[in-house]
Amino acid sequence: MPPGAAKLTGIAVVSAHGAVVKDADGNELLDFAGGIGALAVGHTPETVVTAVKTQAEALLHMCAIVATYEPAVELAERLNRLAPGAFEHRTVFMNSGAEALETAVHICRSYTRRQGVVVFDGAYHGRTNLTLAMTSKFNLFKKGFGPFAPDVYRLPCPNLYRRPDGMSAEAWADWHVRQLDHSFTAYVDPSHVAAVVIEPVMGEGGFLPVPAAFLQKLRALCDQHGMLLVADEVQSGMGRTGRIWAIDHAGVVPDLVATAKSLAAGMPLSAVIGRAEVMNAPHPGGLGGTYSGNPLACVAALKTLDILTDPAFLARATVLGERLRGRLLAIQARHPNLVGDVRGLGPMLAIELVKDPVTREPWMEATQALNAATLQRGLITLRAGLYSNCLRLLPPLNISDAVADEAMDVLDQSVDAVAASMGRA
């Protein structure tokens, strides 16, 4: 494999269940990377595995644009009922989050007969040419891969941690809300915009929850000017924030929502769900793909949704988030000169490491060292953030308190070790 497809760890995995991964040497590790957010229900949940085995004996593949099969129909019906908004929905299946976002843009352009796409600072939407144009982080994802798709306009988005000195988080968020009217004059006119695409909680951007007032203002502007609001819930959806959709926390209903990752417990499946009148705009044959809505992935998603939509599961995810946040805040209190911020929504949590708590200068090297330290102690974690200086937590949302505490003990010890090695003990 080429070096461009680099690995974040040197682990060779042979099996996994729940939150535990076993490597080729027989070591067991706790997985708080979760397939980069694809395993909200953990590794190999029994009901999902059984459904995939049963389906594999009946139908491995057919291609959903050649013929129809029940798992795809059942899943589309279920997602239509589950999507935000009290209106008629339609669902189209793809394979990945990037494909879902690109498909959402195609649908919006077809419906509005406009070309412009508005995205935001810190966004990550995928690795296709269009979604790379929509993605904010240049060096890691975009360097050397241009030219990118045109008609993509990037607007500021409130990062409450990196606000001007002396300004409260509320004032900084309010400033961005007021700035939106200016942005839709200075950067692009609303009459040119087909889609406004935003992650309710930015994933690669550093687990930054977008303030509710900002999302509400976007909804109002879309309504005013005929733009379509697309919620990128690829990482933040499927229970990751304690609700099925992160945007529900803001009380905002998007026109379209894109989902993937934890939708099918790690099987390759994504979906765009939206207003029927919008989704029906593309001509017959304009949407689809060879593997999109594969029957194995669809039955996996159906069983995954059984777990995710259980009120007890979501309640447990919320409790887990409170427990993890408490431990992270305690780590920050002990290491205020290293851990600049603890943030997230529900159990979707991250810490940001800085060289100076006053200047908030990012410390990418400390984050690399911390991920290495947790791995050495048996906990798999991931970086995030525009400056790659955040450590994010993406555990299964149904882990026990004992497993959560064990992982946080490891993180606690690892922060101590990194702080000591970098003169911040």
> What pLDDT was estimated at residue 140?
87
Count CB neighbours of 173 within 10 A: 20
Q: What is the CATH number of domain 311-367?
A: 3.90.1150.10
- pTM for the structure as a whole: 0.96
Q: Render pLDDT for 210-245 as a digit per residue (tens, 0 to 9).
A: 999 999 999 999 999 999 999 999 999 999 999 999
Query: For 374-398, how does the pLDDT look when each residue is reduced to its tens digit (9 = 90+)?
Result: 999 999 999 999 999 999 999 999 9
pLDDT at 314: 98
- Bridge-partner residues for 232, per DSSP? 258
Q: Domain ranges in the chain? A: 48-308, 311-367
**Mean pLDDT, residues 185-200:** 97
What pLDDT does 294 receive?
A: 97
Please tell me what DSSP assigns to residue 13.
E
* Residue 285, CB-side half-sphere exposure with 13 Å CA sphere: 0
Q: What percent of the chain has pLDDT over 90?
A: 96
Which pLDDT does position 139 carry in this prediction? 85
Express each pLDDT in 123-153 by its tens digit.
999 999 999 999 998 888 999 999 999 999 9
Give pLDDT, residue 423.
Answer: 87
pLDDT number for residue 42: 98
User: What integer pLDDT is reported at residue 424 of this predicted model?
Assistant: 81
Q: CATH number of 48-308: 3.40.640.10, 3.40.930.10, 3.40.50.2020, 3.10.129.10?
A: 3.40.640.10
From the list 394, 388, 393, the residue with the least C-alpha distance to 354 is 388
Quickly list DSSP for 360-390: --B-HHHHHHHHHHHHHTTEE-EEESTTS-E
**pLDDT for the residue numbered 286:** 96
Q: Residue 373, class by beta-carbon neighbours within 10 Å (0-12 exposed, 13-18 middle, 19+ buried)?
A: buried
Cα 90 from Cα 96, distance rounded (Å): 18
